[in-house]
Amino acid sequence: LQRPAEDGFIRNRWYAAALARDIDRKPIQTWVLGEPVVLFRRQSGELAALRDRCAHRHAPLSLGTLIGDEIQCRYHGFQFDATGRCTKIPGEKAIPGTVRVQAVPVIEALGFVWIWPGEPSRVDESLLPDFPLTETPGFASYHVATLVEAPFELIVDNLMDLTHVHFVHRILGVGNLIHESEPMRTWEEGDRVLYSRDLKQARHEGTDSFVQIGGTFIPPSIVITSGVPKRDGSDEIQPGPVSQVLHCLTPKTARSTNYLAVKCWNLADRPHEVAAVHHQVDVTLAEDKEIIEAQYNNRCVAASLPEERLIRADRAAVMARRVNDRILRFERETKTESPGAPAVEAPVNDLSQ
């Protein structure tokens, strides 16, 4: 049996698995940390998540149909409730208790479906990211999802260093000389890594405020980026355009990532700008996907990779890697039960695989 390459993941965290609006009464398959999961809603609207593998002969339950609050396997019709208990085996009277599929802790928040691939006894709702702008009056939200054929770490790198913006992004970036702005400040707060940069050349017309961009890494694979108007000598946010993006980089496998994001900005009452922002987000995401996939592909074809030559701007990304290594070590040392997937020693964050 070949070991999956997915064992270098931190498991005891929430991972955004789907956009909440996409989950309804039709079972949907999604992948998290190399494992398929089936998502559906009960008649009450409450979410259910099960490992997407029938207890009988391992067909994906996501091919099946819902009967009330139960999912019927498409292959031989076994039925399972939302806790994974088998409730019906066609042609059999008795149902052995061993016939069950594993339920996965699931929660709906911020317009996403989050699942917890780790130990159910460690589920901790306080580990969901705090991101109040999706509920803040006067702010519009735009949720998007795309698949990136690259490990999530390369996307975290991309978001923790915005010096690429001018070069990669045709709408957002041109003239955004982030790489020439004031030096980036980086710091840690608990498990989080933060950076910020003052774009003093990007002044808001008719005011003395400038754009301050920033990022917060929430381990293992969430980044919040923001742009807010600031003024010299004041910490307060000044009047003007504010935007924040919550980027959730959920490993589908060790080599691919479901990139789910929501952008919030304070122009909700200006519909023509809403359409323009949606367009900008779509284009920006596609541009990041293109460069990151090309970068990853280039790393994969090399028989042996020369070391990266990092610069000052890479500091926050490197700090984020260290936080993840630390959490992963802790998780391995304190493991108390099997989360349902084999845990083996694997190289930490080895991106060459």
Q: Does 78 bind ligand FES (CB under 6 A)?
A: yes
Torsional sign, CA 161, 167, 171, 173: positive
Cβ 169 to Fe ion, closest distance in Å?
A: 6
Burial class (CB in 10 A: 0-12, 13-18, 19+), 262: buried
Beta bridge partners of 141: 264
Q: Does 76 bind ligand FES (CB under 6 A)?
A: yes
Size of the residue set binding ligand FES (CB under 6 A): 9
Pick the closer one to ligand FES by CB: 4 or 77: 77
Pick the closer one to ligand FES by CB: 58 or 329: 58
The 3 state secondary structure assigned to 192-221 is EEEEEEEEEEEECCCCCEEEEEEEEEECCC
Q: Does 161 bind Fe ion (CB under 5 A)?
A: no
Q: Which residue is nearest to Fe ion (CB)?
A: 288
Cα dihedral 127, 131, 134, 140 in deg (nearest 10): -150
**Stretch 29-68: interaction string toward ligand FES, x if CB under 6 A:** -------------------------x-xx-x---------
Decide which of ligand FES, Fe ion, none touches 288; Cβ closer than 5 to 8 Å per partner kind: Fe ion
Pick the closer one to Fe ion by CB: 32 or 145: 145
Pick the closer one to Fe ion by CB: 21 or 279: 279
Please state, in angstroms and rounded to a whole number, the distance separating the CA atoms of residues 101 and 89.
14
Q: Which of 7, 52, 81, 288 binds Fe ion (CB under 5 A)?
A: 288
Decide which of Fe ion, ligand FES, none touches 185; Cβ closer than 5 to 8 Å per partner kind: none
3-class state of residue 28 by DSSP: strand
Decide which of ligand FES, Fe ion, none touches 161; Cβ closer than 5 to 8 Å per partner kind: none
Please state, in angstroms and rounded to a whole number, the distance separating the CA atoms of residues 162 and 227.
12
Pick the closer one to Fe ion by CB: 175 or 233: 175
Cβ 90 to ligand FES, closest distance in Å?
A: 8
Angle value at C-alpha 127, between 123 and 132, nearest 5 degrees: 135
Choose among 10, 4, 2, 6: nearest CA to 321: 10
Please state, in angstroms and rounded to a whole number, the distance separating the CA atoms of residues 319 and 190.
12
Q: Which of 19, 75, 231, 315 binds ligand FES (CB under 6 A)?
A: 75
Pick the closer one to Fe ion by CB: 12 or 163: 163
Cβ 142 to Fe ion, closest distance in Å?
A: 16
CB 257 within 8 A of CB 147: yes
Type of residue numbered 239: P
The residues binding ligand FES (CB under 6 A) are: 54, 56-57, 59, 73, 75-78
